[in-house]
Structure 1
Amino acid sequence: MTLRNTTNTRPNPGGLASLAGRSVARIGYGAMQLEHGDDEPAIALLRQAVELGVDHIDTAEFYGAGRVNARLRAALHPYPEHVVLVSKIGATTDPGGPYGLRPAQQPAELRAEVETNLRTLGLERLDVVNFYPMYRTPGVPADQRIDFDDQLAELVALRDAGLIGGFGLSHVDVDQLQHALPAGVACVQNAYSLVDRSSEPVLELCREQGIAWVPYFPLGSASPELPKVADRPAVREAAARLGATPSQVGLAWVLARGPQTLLIPGTRSTDHLQENLDAGDVVLDDEVMAALEE
């Protein structure tokens, strides 16, 4: 359910929705790209994002081996009360591993990752943590193929202890999400865009259950060989007609998939940050939507 902000005059890019019982702007910020570059521009961008209405920031301790969390703390601590910080667990930094990571799926590792995030961010509680269960993932070592119920029990224990406000799931299918519903799922993060709708059944279940949908890769995969939303002729035609950029059209299409949808596009550019936030003002009429759907 989309909410109205009646308590303050802060801008709310894309309107308001609910995440783990908190009211947030539907367009937030994904901090992964802040792994790179210098501290000063990263800190300035984070402060500008909050000034422009971003109150939902997605991070992870394993982004840049703690560099992103350190920059968040330097930029925003003590954090404004209205800002919701969301981190990720289920993996940890490993310089020798693929993408500099290794799985960290055991319940004790989930707790340790939460505690590390709390320490580096300077918090007593994380608003939300997203967890990627890897027990079905090819190539994961046997000692990391942990029973899903044991992992859910640890997430519930972390929530009951007040270390997290809620938890979400990432890279899950309908069966996994359905299985986890009794534990109380705050959000789901799956890949989803105009060019990748494979998670449509998961989105439909989120709609039915009132679960926040926070897709990653909303403009297509970052991999050069995979399709990009902005390259589609229908997207470019819609952008020209609406006086928007192709990326804004792609983001607006994802927002239109349901009022519980939240976006967390990332960037290191202040101009691109503003462009992403302005996507919340792009209105896709029926004719444009029909062309995009085709």
Structure 2
Amino acid sequence: MTAAALGKTAAAPAQTAAKPLVAATDIVQEYEQPDGKMLRVLDSVNLTFERPSINMLLGPSGCGKSTLLRMLGGVRPWNVATPTSGRVEIDGQACVGPHPDTVMVFQHYANRPDMTVRENVLYPFGFSEWKRRVPPKEATERVDQMLQEVGLADKRDQYPSQLSGGQNQRVALARALVLRPRVLLMDEPFGALDAQTRSNMQDLLCRLHAAHPCVVVFVTHDVTEALLLGDRVIVLSTQPARIIDDFTITERQPRSQQWLMGADVRVMYERVVAHLRASGGRGNMRVTV
């Protein structure tokens, strides 16, 4: 006899909670110094990233932002245990080495000087991991489409030495996004650019993220950049780095200069700066609001 015939409602199947895409749990990182003492860089850091979004990681210089960023992508220094304690997971599985779903972009773009723009963007597909994942025809189609999206289709046959700094950073961003990563880790990618080029790259990142949603974790020293780009802003203290603030911004992209100068943003700006000043360290930050 069915549950309905008995006048009862059958219980719904239990739902299993989805694992966060990226999770860092109780992260501690220490390095041994020449005198044998241990330097603690990160202390009890807990972060989860569950859905596509731009997440800004902000803090004084030298506080451990880049250390944490690399750890999230499975990049491990030679002969050093990272993390010292705690756990990084991607899709609920321990991340103990470079992960195919994560890609990093650095301030100093690693474009091959002996390759054209198109060859640089196509370059990752020559590695065995991506040869298995993406057929050659699809790879070339992706590259040509991405060059269109970053505005470099007309520069495809030029070499990095023939490009400006902003154009070279577009090459690096295209090379990362052409792999369609689920996690994009960015270590001050626009820090060396002039103000106008930096603004253009920020706009481009927002457009590309809308077209290719993923979890972006973006390290910056710039409070303005964090508020302009971030769906979420995470603030670290000086060493040993702890999370001292973590908040979301609901204003949709693109965000205008008028919004940036508004009262609500001023409150967020003062909140971040107050945290950084109260952290008591000697690291630097950049404020351009």
- Judge same fold: TM > 0.5, yes or no: no
Higher RCO (Cα < 8 Å, 6 or more apart): 2
Flag the structure with larger Rg: 2
Question: Which range, TM-score by smaller chain?
Answer: 0.3 to 0.5
Of Structure 1 and Structure 2, the greater helix share is in 1
